[in-house]
Chain A
């Protein structure tokens, strides 16, 4: 369970309080009923131990914006404005985020170049020869629905704006509307390639509400599944980068490795994306000896093949040339905008939910890291994490002792809880508020991609158009998770 402290401030004092606390802003949202009188802002920050939940009641329809002091709030406050009509006064760019801007295809540049704001450094470009490529939401190739407005004079990218939320499905509302034992199935489908991470974060929150202890065997099974999921997500990014570099053989060989992981997942969990196993209180099914042996033997052969192919890739100049120094994200930007996962770790930020907000009995392990901040750094973080995941799976398999795999959560004994997990993309959060002993009345989820998408326009400094897909794929984003 995540140790947390609560404090309440005036809405006017929220921004200075968050600036004073420092650390990383994890979430900022509005909770409470539909009446204007009982709407309350919740900010969740992690200045160190413990996590701090700051509550601030909003009187009327406005409050002083947090973003000018804490840039990481920028998308959260635009979301609050879209969904609740509450105005964060002084927000540098209060245009629609979740609800689409009326004029499509237009790149909006910032009014001011304040160094602390979202678009710091962006320059106004105009004149003959400057044009905007609206790329998406139906994109060339098989991609999720998302749109990028790329302003260019032909080669250099002057500016790149991201437009998302084409596929908002109302996940949070759905989670509250269905019976508790079915809600985890909704969480699994928020971001379908991070099903385990979302199911874990949601289950951790439920387990915190009911103060349930997860049996040790279930914890080990959860770690196996979570790391297996990390493996195939990191392989997906590798396949995409090889495709971008036109390395057909490398693409095919990494795709074979990825497919082998999905087949292993299908054989042990009955689903190629490991759905339907993690439930609040443990796991729904046990792994029998056959499944455990299959994991051990499959991954041993898989690892040998992975090392061979990776060693060739890391000696392929046409791959390295395209990734080194491409899509640089400075440590300052990554920190200011609260980035998580391999995106943050590639820019020298030491953050990993598995270690920082420990869960499910993870043993100590070395958190991957790199300081270059470019696309290659993000890839190298992933390559290190593949090794770490294989080691964590071996450890979890060895620690599987006989015992139960589920202790069903009892009635809720707490009102609110935060659940977290580290998906392949980074920190995944669920904030739940209980109504009575069995009902979740309010849910706010935040996938890693919601914050990492926020820096998409920051990584195009002095980049060229042909680098676009390298940069996009190196960030490893999930529009489905972001849009929820």
Chain B
């Protein structure tokens, strides 16, 4: 045991300063797609929509292109297809929102850029989290477990996993809801004391992702009312941290996945 003790104290600190400081995201990381709807013509819109597996890019009735960020799996096929104009990839990690509408850009949908808000509610300090898998691909669970590693160390922020739903404030759900898991999901939720918050972690949980009926019902919001959506396939640990802190009302929610404003800001800076 003395050897482990010595190893433990001889390592330098690796823990991120997030949310007090920023966490650098690697260049080229594909967390989600960003869309500038004005830069896409009708022909491109149809091509891009046809190339999108989960249907995150869709052609609207008016012929414009819409990006539903709750469905995006970050594969990047749209960026290949668009030649780099109109669609770009966002390497960021502050992606969580309190509604699915906030993740939508284009198609004349009202955007809530101005209304970036923190969730109110009773949870300000410590959160106890109960996880339920309803049909994930298995990677999200590992990203959630990574929150306990020294890089993220979520316990420093007062976030804890709990074995029983009766002690839980947050229900953290991963995966699109496969039929056999609908009932266990409901029963876990019902076992939780109020107030309680439901967090959908990952694109599958947010919208059903690439999976379709009859095997899956869709996103978690087909079964329960969802308070926080964390898109990503899978969401990185730091993105999960942002979502959980949003559930606690300690950070602001993400802005809509609009490319134009980012590009214009970069232009102005350059």
Contact = CB atoms under 8 A, between A and B. Distances in A.
A258 B149 CA distance: 9
B151 A256 contact: yes
A312 interface: yes
Contacts of B149: 252, 255-256, 258-259
B46 interface: no
Interface stretch (B25-33, B35-43, B110-118, B253-261): B25-33
B20 interface: no
A186 B234 contact: no
Contacts of B161: 141-142
Interface residues of A, number: 62
Contacts of A138: 132, 165, 184, 188
B139 A273 contact: yes
Contacts of B145: 142
A145 B133 contact: yes
B3 interface: yes
B139 A167 contact: no
A143 B139 CA distance: 11
A124 interface: no
A481 B139 CA distance: 11
Interface stretch (B98-106, B208-216, B223-231): B208-216
Interface in A309-337: 309, 312, 315-316, 318
Contacts of B138: 144, 191-193, 478-481
A166 interface: yes
Contact of A166 (B1, B181, B214): B181
A266 B26 contact: yes
A190 B215 CA distance: 14
A174 B210 contact: yes
Nearest to A480: B138
B180 A174 contact: no
Interface in A162-179: 165-170, 173-174, 177-179
A190 B138 CA distance: 9
A307 interface: no
B142 A193 contact: yes
Given A192-B138, A250-B4, A170 B26 contact: no
B4 A316 contact: yes
Contacts of A179: 50
Contacts of A165: 180
B234 A273 contact: yes
A284 B188 CA distance: 42
A315 B7 CA distance: 14
A263 B211 CA distance: 27
Contacts of A168: 178, 180, 215
Nearest to B73: A185
Nearest to A198: B137
A325 to B, nearest CB: 23
Given A249-B7, A270-B29, A169 B163 contact: no
A405 to B, nearest CB: 14
A284 B28 CA distance: 14
A276 B75 contact: yes
Given A137-B181, A315-B3, A266 B29 contact: yes
A252 B151 CA distance: 9
Contact of B30 (A195, A255, A276): A276
Interface in B132-183: 132-146, 148-151, 161, 163-165, 175-176, 178, 180-181
Given A191-B137, A256-B151, A270-B89, A247 B4 contact: yes
B55 to A, nearest CB: 11
B180 A166 contact: yes
A169 B234 contact: no
Interface string B63-106: 00000000001111100100000000100000000000000000
A478 to B, nearest CB: 5
Given A190-B137, A309-B7, A480-B137, A263 B26 contact: yes
Given A185-B75, A256-B149, A249 B29 contact: no
B17 interface: no
Contact of B80 (A190, A266, A284): A284
Nearest to A279: B77
Interface string A368-380: 0000000000000
A145 B135 contact: yes
B144 A142 contact: yes
Nearest to B236: A272
Contacts of A469: none
A253 interface: yes
Contacts of A182: 51, 53, 77
Contacts of B137: 189-193, 480
A195 B74 CA distance: 14
Interface of A: 100, 137-138, 140-145, 165-170, 173-174, 177-179, 181-182, 185-186, 189-193, 195, 236, 247, 249-250, 252-253, 255-256, 258-259, 262-263, 266-267, 270-273, 275-276, 284, 308-309, 312, 315-316, 318, 478-481, 483
18 contacts: A100-B180, A138-B165, A140-B163, A166-B178, A167-B134, A167-B135, A169-B176, A170-B216, A185-B210, A191-B138, A192-B234, A195-B139, A253-B8, A255-B150, A262-B146, A266-B29, A480-B137, A483-B178
Given A169-B178, A272-B236, 7 more contacts: A138-B165, A142-B145, A144-B136, A145-B181, A166-B180, A192-B137, A309-B7
10 interchain residue pairs of minimum CB distance: A192-B137, A192-B139, A255-B149, A140-B163, A170-B215, A480-B138, A167-B135, A267-B26, A249-B4, A249-B8
